[in-house]
Amino acid sequence: MVSQPTATLNFINETQIAQVVSIGTILPLVEETSTHYKLLTPDGICYISKEKAHIVDNTQINAVEQIIELAKSFLDLRYAWAGTSAAGFDCSGFVYTLFRTFDIWLSRDAQEQVFEGAVYTYQEAIPGDLLFFAYEEGNGEVHHVGLYLGDDQMIHSQTPGSKVMITKLEGTTYQKELCAVRRFF
């Protein structure tokens, strides 16, 4: 699975033009070398650098750290309504894509994601948990989700006109609207 914002697929047949694919792209593995994965695409056999992809394995011990590192690689990427790629994300598309990259499958929208995973309180939150926010000071409809980083901070794709950013919750509307914490590890 592609685990960077974008990656280049180079084809064995040199007459074929290399293709750029986005994070989360999954292709069948044909062979593994010391530096590359050989993959099968509808257009033929290609290679991708191991630095840009990984074999999907949901037993990865350090998946949380890798998800957080990957999330930070998208800092300053523009908000895009319904976005789920390196072209831009909305809030739920951001966490959906991050988790999917590590073979953790969530629903696409925050209003559904909030009903998944293990339930925790904010006091029990650890890095990698998802934080959900609802209108009416946390009692209304869920409208936002972010990835908890620890130290009262989350990374999220905020709103139209903004970018992926890190926000401290204390003293913000987010602190008042926090309604749920969910863990998927």
Q: Which residues are catalytic?
A: 91, 144, 156
Euclidean distance between CA atoms 31 and 9, whole angstroms:
14
Q: How far apart are the first and last CA of the chain?
A: 19
Residue reference for tokens 């990427």 = 77
- Pairs from 50-53 (Cβ < 8 Å, separation ≥ 24): 51/4, 52/2, 52/3, 52/4, 52/7, 52/8, 53/1, 53/2, 53/3, 53/4, 53/7
Reported residue count of the chain is: 185
Q: Are 110 and 96 spatial neighbours (Cβ–Cβ below 8 Å)?
A: no
Euclidean distance between CA atoms 22 and 31, whole angstroms:
21
Q: Are 131 and 148 spatial neighbours (Cβ–Cβ below 8 Å)?
A: yes
